[in-house]
Amino acid sequence: MIAFLSFAVIVLLFTVLVLIAKANELANELKDGKRDYTTQSKINGYLLIGFLIAMFAGSAFAFKQLMPVMIPKAASIHGAQTDYLFNMTMVIIGIVFVITQVALFYFAYRYNESRVKEAYFYPHNNTLEVVWTIIPTIVLTGLIAMGMYEWFSIFNRDDRDKNELVIEVTGKQFNWMIRYSGKDGKFGERLIDTAHVSPTNELGINWEDPKSHDDFLSDKLYLVKGKGVLMKLGAQDVIHSFYLPHFRVKMDCVPGTPTEFYFVPTMTTEDMRKYLSTLPWWQTVNPETGQPRWQTFKYELACAELCGKSHFGMEREVVVVTQEEYDAWLNKQTSLYDATIKPALTKKDEAKDEPAVDSTKTEIKKPQAMLVGKPN
Amino acid sequence: METSPSVEHGVHGHHDHVHGHAEHHHEETFLTKYVFSQDHKMISKQFLITGMFWGVVGGLLSILFRLQLGWPNETFPFLETFLGKWAEGGKISQDFYLALITMHGTILVFFVLTGGLSGTFANLLIPYQIGARDMASPFINMLSYWFFFTASVIMLLSFFIQTGPAAGGWTAYPPLNGMRNTAIDLGSGLGFDLWIAGMALFIIQALLAGLNYVTTVLNMRTKGMTMMKLPLTIWALLFTAIVGILSFPALLAGVVLLEFDRLLDTSFYLNNIIINGHLLGYKGGSPILFEHLFWFLGHPEVYIIILPAFGIVSEVLAVHSRKPIFGYKAMVISLLAILILSFIVWAHHMFVTGLNPNLGAIFTLFTLLIAIPSAIKVFNWIGTIWRGRIRLTSAALFAIGFVSMFISGGLTGIILGNSSIDIQLHDTMFVVAHFHIVMGIAAFFGMFAGVYHWFPRMYGRFMNETLGQIHFYVTLVGAYCIFFPMHFMTGLPRRYYSYGNFETFNNFNNLASFMSVVAIIVFLAQLLFVVNYFYSIFKGQKLEGEYANPWESNTLEWTAPVERMHGNWPGDIPTVYRWPYDYSTNGNDFNPQNIPLKPGEATH
């Protein structure tokens, strides 16, 4: 009913508009086969100036309202630098934006037909054109140079922390598998073949490799403040993108092609909460939790490349802690081997058979022919 | 079109043979006149009306997903009435949401802003403005429309199959779209096969049309029409066609290989795919290869969209300002620079795919360089209206709106093109805001400016100015209200069904509702344009006289009689003596190109 009513209202509105417009056009009779544009130019001139003012007022309002709500400052070393570059570029383009928009709308108003008798024949001016080619070139050269410098320093392998923490993250629909190398600091080997990859061992970990015995999967991504972390990224099924908005980290996870990203977190979760508690918007109460926003702040991991219908649900909490807290956390973890493989080995008889496959989870429409046979 | 049997079609250009004869005097049937027409004017209308249809469909899809984004926790029972299982309980399903955004992108990028924009104005303006009777090959021209039509029918059909239309993003990345049988989600089934079929036909259309446009512009200019006397519309349309011819084949190769992966289980783009712990037999391909092939077209594609708008706006601003375009040569050179650079910037869509950092740096360099010719164009447009005598008609308003949008959207491109900043912004709402302003809204503004300006040429009547100006202000204000605040959603990933799972992203719900309300209003304003268009075809104010030049313009299309005819001009085609931008000079308000120079007057 409401849908029908709104439809009727819209049709009515359109009819009225057309009728008004028609009446308006009748007043716009041709004079000697020509139209007179003076009146409408005058009105539109004022409207354009009005729009210009409204645009700047609206922009200012948007800045005031929305800036505090934005994702807070970067919590990584390179993130602070790219934020600086972002802000600096913003200021430059902001200036260009104001100058060009003012010129555009002011000229449209100032030189409309109701205010000008004759146009000024002015087809070109080489000096002017050279000037406004060279100035953007210089500015852009600066931006390119700074951007490249920053870009290379992000991907420069030589500057990395020698004791970097290496974490392996694998995306799949619709989850993240976060693997730590355990106390030995070394990952067990992964073999992507049918002998190793199975519904109970999706990552294809080679359990015969002793380095794998202390590796563990974590629900949360734990990072250490001030310690470089190298994310080894991959994907099982489709392209995902490993995205840590607070750390300005994003890198695609591509099936069959490994990628990586190195960064250094600079603030623990607690540090960030403390910082946010000083900002007015973060002090307001979140109606959903009933607490000030800063208290429930957490770093998060998201997927940034469309990966299917639950793309928007690939959330994992990221926790940044000090080295001591990290060590304590690490000691509490049970390795994947101890949790799943060892118990199975002690009951050797049962272990001979493949573990029962949960049919609800592994429903697969791919014809069996496409599943590769065991190598050799 | 309205061929009058009495019209003489004797001369086909000055430099070619004369053939006066009966073959042109045959009676046209409804079928040859309105359906399988070979007349560039009719084909241009066919492209425009098909484009408008797609524009409404594409806009409607965006309204549907804006309902979800604006009110993620509400239900809209009427949606279930119309969409059935795709909106059970009045809530758009996750699958269908992705189908909506995918088809919205595909339709607007290809079917509206490429087919609708280029197809309309290249067909209408190239023969008229260069002084030709028709395209080099009217038959290929007709074919190109019917390939476009068939592609449209196939795309439209995909909405009505059980598994729904393509839903893996308009960029169609594998492996999400690369495995048919695994049926990972809705849309990776038959819908996507139809998408590929539709795109393949669309590409054939673009190539046929493009070759025809280039041939026509290069070979069929009337006497005196040197390249440097071409209106900027023709330069822009020529360059658009060249970009299309050189880049569309890469996409065709890309999607055909993708279909091989889907149907024949080849592994062009697939390697070590593991689904629920089952390793599939694909070996050795790379999904990144597809991204390269896709963006090798995908990036030039945005110039295919925006270049015709550049041309239209340059012409409209000059005519309605009664002033020559400022820096004609600089405008042509900057178009050429954009044409060249457009081919070597594609990987800026792939900064975070793990590509070699050296490559990222090179692409940053070229991407930011493209800002220079773009800046020159903006300054020249502003220079054009400076000290003009601007008639603020709907066409002029939309041209000014175009410049405003192009500035706003173009500037944020300087941020996104810088690879190190792009790490954070890639695939977020900031990008959505950027490209909607710079190539979505701006290209639409260019298209509207063109339609309001050349409607009298197409139908012999004016469009309603009052409705046109309401349309302009609602669209201008509305577009800024939607997309300006979207920049503050920096860091919010795009293509999210809801932000409710993330504390980090869930802070913009009021803003999202506001944007959705405005989007609905803007959509209604576009319907007003459609109403105005069809109303004016029948009831618009008529042009007066047998020959009318309603905007007092210099270009050749206005030297043809108001009554459209096959062959465009009765008798001889006009000879060109002048530059197209001789406004307010020589003691005249305007000096049409076919008026001989006065003694002592210099050409430009």
CATH number assigned to the domain covering B37-271+279-590:
1.20.210.10
What's the length of chain B? 604
Contact A306 B491 (CB under 8 A): no
| B508/A108 Cβ within 8 A | no
Decide if A80 touches B, using CB distance below 8 A: no
Contact B391 A120 (CB under 8 A): no
State the Cα–Cα distance between residues B195 and B255, nearest whole angstrom: 10
Asked if residue B297 lies in contact with residue B285, where contact means CB atoms within 8 angstroms, the answer is no
What pLDDT does A28 receive?
65
Tell me how far CA of residue B161 lies from CA of B50, B87, B94, B155, B187, in angstroms.
Answer: 22, 16, 17, 11, 10
- Quick check: B114 and B50 in contact, CB under 8 A? no
> pLDDT for B524-575, tens place per residue?
999 999 999 999 999 998 888 888 899 999 999 999 999 888 899 998 999 9
* Lookup: tokens for A11: 């049709």
Share of chain B above pLDDT 90, in %: 79
Q: What is the pLDDT of residues B274-329, one digit of tens each?
A: 988 899 889 999 999 999 999 999 999 999 999 999 999 999 999 999 999 999 99
With a CB cutoff of 8 Å and minimum separation 6, the contacts of A68 are: A279, A280, A281, A282
Nearest to B41 by CA among B338, B456, B347: B456
The proportion of chain B whose per-residue pLDDT surpasses 70, expressed as a percent, equals 94
Give the pLDDT band (50/70/90) at residue B592. very high
The domains of chain B are located at: 37-271+279-590
> A357 pLDDT exceeds 50?
no
What's residue B20's pLDDT?
41
Contacts with B, A 154-173, CB within 8 Å: 154-155, 172-173
Residues of A in contact with B106 (CB under 8 A): none
- Which structure tokens are listed for B6? 């009495």
Residue A361 has pLDDT above 60, yes or no: no
Give the model confidence (pLDDT) of B466-513 as tens digits: 999 999 999 999 999 999 999 999 999 999 999 999 999 999 999 999
Contact A55, A101 (CB under 8 A): yes
| Interface touch B323/A122, C-beta < 8 Å | yes
Taking only Cα atoms into account, the Rg of chain A, rounded to an integer number of angstroms, comes to 31
> Which residue of chain B is at minimal alpha-carbon distance from A61?
B485
Contact check, Cβ <8 Å, A108/B385: yes
Helix-strand-coil percent breakdown of chain B, rounded to 5? 65, 5, 35
- Asked whether the beta carbons of residue A255 and residue B287 sit closer than 8 angstroms, the reply is yes
Q: What is the pTM for the complete model shown?
A: 0.92
Contacts of A185 (CB under 8 A, 6+ apart): A166
Quote the pLDDT of residue A360: 43
Lowest mean pLDDT among A31-45, A90-104, B2-16: B2-16
Query: If you average pLDDT over residues A212-232, what whole number do you get?
Result: 95
- Could you tell me the pLDDT band of residue A351, with boundaries at 50, 70 and 90? very low
Asked if the model's pLDDT at residue B16 lies above 50, the reply is no
**pLDDT computed for residue A365 by the predictor:** 40
Residue A34: predicted pLDDT: 67
Which domains, and CATH codes, for chain A?
34-117+126-155 (no CATH), 165-350 (2.60.40.420)
Q: What pLDDT sits at residue A160? A: 86
- Distance (Å, whole) CA A203 – CA B277: 8
pLDDT, chain B, mean? 91
Q: Which two tokens stand for residue A116?
A: 């000008």
Determine the pLDDT at residue B22.
40
Query: Residue A327 pLDDT > 50, yes or no?
Result: yes
pLDDT score of A87? 96
Question: Does A26 have pLDDT greater than 70?
Answer: no
pLDDT (tens digit per residue) in A190-207? 999 999 999 989 999 999
Q: What amino acid is encoded at B430 in this protein?
A: F
Q: If you write DSSP's letter for every residue of B291-307 in order, what string do you get?
A: HHHHHHHHHHHHHHHHH
Nearest-angstrom CA–CA distance, B351 and B360: 6
Tell me, yes or no, if A306 comes closer than 8 A to chain B by beta carbon.
yes
Q: How far apart are CA A371 and CA B571, in angstroms?
A: 72
Confidence of residue A7 (pLDDT cuts 50, 70, 90): confident
Average pLDDT over residues B78-85: 88
What is the arithmetic mean of pLDDT over B63-67?
A: 95
- Among B276, B286, B473, select the one facing A199 at the smallest CB separation: B276
Look at residue A9 in the predicted model and tell me its pLDDT. 81
Of B270, B464, B544, the CB nearest to A21: B464
Residue type, A45: G
Taking 80 as the threshold, does the pLDDT of residue A242 lie above it? Answer: yes
* pLDDT of the residue at A146: 95
B183-213 tens-digit pLDDT: 455 556 889 999 999 999 999 999 999 999 9
Ranges A15-24, B75-84, B138-147, B445-454: which has the least confidence:
A15-24
Average pLDDT over residues A125-144: 94
Contact state of B274 with A236 under an 8 Å Cβ cutoff: yes
